[in-house]
Structure 1
């Protein structure tokens, strides 16, 4: 048993020295400590502490933690690149702060045969390369401590099975379709979305974007054949040609997390009132593109939370007292203490009191300091998505305040006369004296 905990500090002291300190710790306590407890105290004294699952994203190269088994796979044989046989098994484990996958290789894979769902384990392991979503086990043993776990097998976002599932969810937000290149050189289109149900939010990648054609954000849908992505962080699914998406009459409520319960890692959906809002600040991304960032604070009447808005979300008009909803924000420790919630790509930020209506609009894409606009010579709206400047597009979607959230966007054919008329109207608006 001493060797189990010695794995945590084998880079600091010798095995003989570790055993000596464990024996010394037992003697100091008058034989009231058992060997595992004494070993844990020695490990702690050397600065290697047990952590919660949400802290597994830390910089340490080695972690030790307690967790309850939620699901497991049987050992599976595979062929290595060198032709040798190998074995692998996976455990899904959790505590009150989240879940993670524990991967057992070769001789350790057989240990899952002696592990039951519900068992509490003490695990020592490290991340594989740069991946933060799973732990490769170096050692593990059953533990007698109590662990509270919020996730249970049977919830649609838990478990290790990759079998397709059916979902009843709200389409919270959807980006415009974009092209991708397959390994064989052919191209296709995909669309990234955010959905939500009674269990929270989840990413949805549509490899067949036509499934979502004409479905505006805010709609409740029944998704048949959603494939879980078990290697993604948090809940994630994908749909393809074999899946279906239909409008549903079901009532779906997405839960919000109280601001005081937001930890320093993970994804959260929250709502609150804007207490303070700084002005957006422009910056240049690493790729050389312009972007914006804005810091605000929101309150739910009991607690406050710092929120950082990125990209076009930072440009949305805001003032103190506005009620806002945030879906799938990423929490982290703030640079100056406390916790902040990052809201950018993959998140949805909205003012629920906005007048929202369906809209069909044709215009020219015009980039500006306030974001990307679509202008028809008479009216101008902010538009969500990426478009070629100067492109003529026809969109259908939802108008939320001064922003169009497209459900579809296609090139618009215009006659030279129509284009000349629109250009003249635009020039007249630019040249008009301002009062």
Structure 2
């Protein structure tokens, strides 16, 4: 009777972080783990300490870099496990999860042995956690909490009160209007275009290769390119991703593309991406041929009024590329533009009179001072007869 009362008193110090049933179950697990080396009360003290007993209740919005923190949260998304080379030549492992409470969201980095809970599938979106770790400046800005097997603690719990997550979603228009390098971008969009996957040699490790792929998504406010790196590229194939489906991105960041100076979302090891049942309406913004200026990206519609032969061109890097030049005109016939279809786009079956839509072509100065539309790797072309 007395020991049970002592355990109950210890539980009350948790301030409702977990249910009594969950607390008692964790005590039994602790006693079993210790091989009978501790009694129920000692196990209760150990469990309570791990769950942040006697510590002030911390909300995510209060966490600052440099703090040792213990707080309750709900899992929003879970990334895969990544291996990396340590400076001492050893191999380390890290996994990232996004968590939230009623005040905001936060990235958690799990290191080495702790990533096994992710590999074993013991942590999933919607579960509640009690986390102890060290807060630091996050990748790309913001704050993240680092949890290691020797410097922190993570445990799935059943809180007395359900943890509500204050979800924050960005609109694509806001991302374009913001300064570059916005961290922790959360967005839902409809897939408009799926690009090819490219393998490249890393500049910092000439003997190592990486992979990059891109998709274009849109919402009610606009569209934006999403760039996926390395293992996240597999999402495009493993999820059987199709144009028209909707995806959810968490923890991305924006940057300016070096090629066309437009804002894009970068998805790396610290980010999450998945299909979603959320519905997003997107309508392509079509620019009349008469309104096209140079050095901008456009979506246009026109009738094929000129078809040339496909040619091969040797680029400055020695590689051979193919190009098909066509002309398109608007309904009135008064506005006509030259269009260069590069690479695989040159194989698009077209006939004179076809009505086509070209998405994300780039306008530049052409021969004779006119404007030429370039249809490249990030463009798509569709025949819309009928």
TM-score range normalised by the length of the shorter chain: 0.3 to 0.5
TM-score (norm 1): 0.42
